[in-house]
A and B are shown apart, each in its own frame.
Chain A
Amino acid sequence: MRQQDGDLMSLINEDEALIAAALKGSAYAWEKLVKRYESKIYNHGLRLTGNSSDAMDLMQEVFLGVYRNLHRFRGDAKFSSWIFRIAHNKAVDMNRRKRLMTAPPKFPNEEDGGEFDNFPGRKELEPENRVGENEQNQRVLKMLNELNAELRSIVELKIFQSLTFDEIAELQDISANTVKTRFYSALKKLKVVSEEQNVLS
């Protein structure tokens, strides 16, 4: 455990060293920093959006945001939390844009599924962009598809990013209890899909 902590600390220090070098203009440091996080962000995007082109767009926007705001990064937070906060904001923006562009106008009193509502929508439009190479990932996406975007992002953060309920609450500006409630209803839905899939296979 102590060894692990030491590794984590050195990773964080390495992040900070890379950030400092990148701020001084080192392209090498910037590339290294991106390489450290691009896979996490890309897979995060895949699970949120369900298709690789949106995941790619999201990832590029996230790193552009990181680049533009790198000088504002203070060492008081972990770089990984910071970058995931940016990713969350970009995902919300992206979803809002998509809803404006593609969806027919809704009446305000109609049931509103939340900020992420349209994310899984484009999957069938772009079969070549589907994450089809990997059967296991297909199953995961199929399960996640049963969730609306709000629940999906909480499952993503809790199960895949291993954040605590409090961290998720802070990130999404909601209460920890809301996070717990949403997580539980997500789990209930996932359980149903998982059981169906296990029966079928």
Chain B
Amino acid sequence: MSCPKTQYLVQEYFSEELSAIARSELDRHLSDCGHCNAELESVLLAQQDLEQWQEQRVPHWDRGLQLFRQEHRIERPISGFWLSWQWAPTAVSLAMFCVLIFNVNVRSDESGFSISFAGSDSWDNGLSARLTEFEQAQRLQMEQLVSRVESRQDSNNVQLLQAVMQQTQQSTAESFDQMYAYFEQQRLLDLQDMRAGYEQLVDSDYETIRSLQQLVNYVGYQSDIR
């Protein structure tokens, strides 16, 4: 006692997009067909059983907070004031860079401030005049200083020279004396040596004469014998 419509009917019963007409048709079939009715009822009972499920509490867990905090601490945005003033250092350095590049001059005088670019020298006449003045003064001072140093150096030199010469004279005189004495001594020694040599020479001459005499005597004697 089965009905070919049962599967379709149960499926459609659980379908949401059923029109009102389809719904009433479905109800009509259910009241007519005992098999479908019984089937649907047992299915609904099973559904009821399932719906007995009671939500169980989730065991304690950290909900990924550790990971979340870890990753967000690193890239935590700087808040409020600092966020809005972050560009300031960059801007300042850029401005400095521009001042350098365009050679900006800012000058203040009685009439207020004036700014000029690219090293305009219209305003620095006064400065250069003062610079030349200062240079002249410096040069003068330098010259004075140099001349003073020179004169002092000269006098020092003269004194030094004198002292040196004096000392040299002294030592020269002394060394002449010493040399004279040395030569004298040498001369005396030479004289002595020469005298000794002559004496020796005389002695040897005498010796020669004597041997000659002896020879003569001998020759005389020989001739006597003959």
Using CB atoms and an 8 Å cutoff, list the residues of chain A in contact with chain B: 22, 25, 27, 30-31, 34-35, 38-39, 42-43, 46-47, 52, 56, 59-60, 63-64, 67, 131, 134, 136-137, 139-140, 143-144, 155, 158-160, 164-166, 180-181, 183-184, 187-188, 190-191, 193-195, 197-198
Contacts and interface: CB of A to CB of B under 8 A. Distances in A.
A26 B37 CA distance: 55
Contacts of B58: 38-39, 42, 59
Given A30-B64, A165-B16, A190-B46, 5 more contacts: A30-B68, A52-B56, A134-B54, A194-B46, A195-B42
B55 interface: yes
A159 B52 CA distance: 11
B10 A25 contact: no
Contacts of B49: 139-140, 143, 190, 194, 197-198
Given A131-B56, A134-B54, A139-B52, A164 B16 contact: yes
Contact of A25 (B46, B56, B59, B72): B72
B69 to A, nearest CB: 5
Nearest to A23: B72
Contacts of A180: 11, 15
A122 to B, nearest CB: 17
Chain B interface SS verdict (over half):
loop
Interface string B41-71: 0110111011111111111010111011100
For this complex, into which size category does the number of interface residues on chain B fall? Answer: 35 or more
Nearest to B12: A180
A183 B11 contact: yes
Given A60-B61, A164-B16, A187 B56 contact: no
A195 B48 CA distance: 12
B63 A31 contact: yes
B17 interface: yes
Contacts, number: 112
Interface of B: 7, 10-11, 14-17, 39, 42-43, 45-47, 49-59, 61, 63-65, 67-69, 72, 75-77
A158 B46 CA distance: 14
Contact of A27 (B14, B16, B39, B72): B72
B101 to A, nearest CB: 41
Nearest to A28: B65
Contacts of A183: 11, 14
Contacts of A164: 15-17
10 contacts: A30-B68, A34-B63, A67-B68, A134-B54, A137-B52, A137-B53, A159-B50, A187-B47, A190-B47, A190-B49
Nearest to A64: B64
A159 B43 CA distance: 12
Nearest to A194: B46
A144 B16 CA distance: 23
Contacts of A155: 50
A165 B55 contact: no
